[in-house]
Structure 1
Amino acid sequence: MLTGTGLTWLMVLVGGAAGAVGRFTVNWLVERRSRPAPRATLAVNVAGSLLLGLLAGTGAALPGWLGALVGTGFCGALTTWSTFGYETAHMLGSGAVGRRQALLNVLTTLAAGLGAAALGWQLGSL
């Protein structure tokens, strides 16, 4: 039976696998229905922020393995700062309209992500 560090590693691996599949699925569903845009990235980042805020709001009420599984593993693989940065930089290179879209993308992602994390924290602390 795994305990301690071995269990933590396993939880991160299992959560990461599930989060990666979730991210791939959201991308696939969004791109099937709309033109390429950062909508899928926004969706996974906001969802991950909400979930991580919820976990953080519960504090020490949750066992450590659950934080490793959902927080580090699942949310870590689901969310993506690198894709957000790449998509924003790509928009910046697309002329005046692209620069406006990039600014809107940054403001929307930050506001929605922080708002979702705060909401999750509040819900978790109830």
Structure 2
Amino acid sequence: MNALLVALGAGVGAPLRYLAAQRFGTRGIFAVNVIGSFVLGVLTGAAVATPGMALLGTGLCGALTTYSTFGHETVELLRSGRRRAALLNVVGSTVLGVLSAAGGVAAGAALFG
């Protein structure tokens, strides 16, 4: 059952990531990584049960926020000579991702814990 929930969540998350990349490029990938980190933090802070975590955490957030896409976008920035943008992408994604996850944990615990 959990595998099906993961697949359903991924079926929503992957197209959202694709559309964000098509519409907003690197900024879209950056945004979905930060938003996904926050959502996963909320789920963790709320101590969401296994089915909910499979659907929304592993499925949706896992497909929405992928390290491979982040890596690809960073390499493409470097290839195009945009070193500063690549560095900002790495630092910004890491720092804001962690801060978003921490904020999400706090929000989830406060709202649902």
**TM-score normalised by L of structure 1:** 0.80
Partner residue, 2:70: 84
2-side partners of 1:106 and 1:75: how far apart? Answer: 19
2:19 matched to 1:53? no
Moved over 6 A (4+): none
- Percent of residue pairs bearing the same amino acid type: 45
2:28 matched to 1:28? no
2-side partners of 1:63 and 1:57: how far apart? Answer: 11
Partner residue, 1:18: 12
| Residues 27-86 of structure 1: CA deviation (Å, up to 9, x unaligned) | 2332xxxxxx41011011011100000111112xx2210000000000111112112111
Partner residue, 1:123: 107
Partner residue, 2:93: 109
Gaps of 5+ in 2: none
Gaps of 5+ in 1: 1-6, 31-36
Amino acid at match of 1:29: R
Aligned length: 110
**TM-score normalised by L of structure 2:** 0.88
Amino acid at match of 2:16: G
Please state how far the C-alpha of 1:92 moved relative to its aligned partner.
Answer: 2.3
1-side partners of 2:106 and 2:93: how far apart? Answer: 20
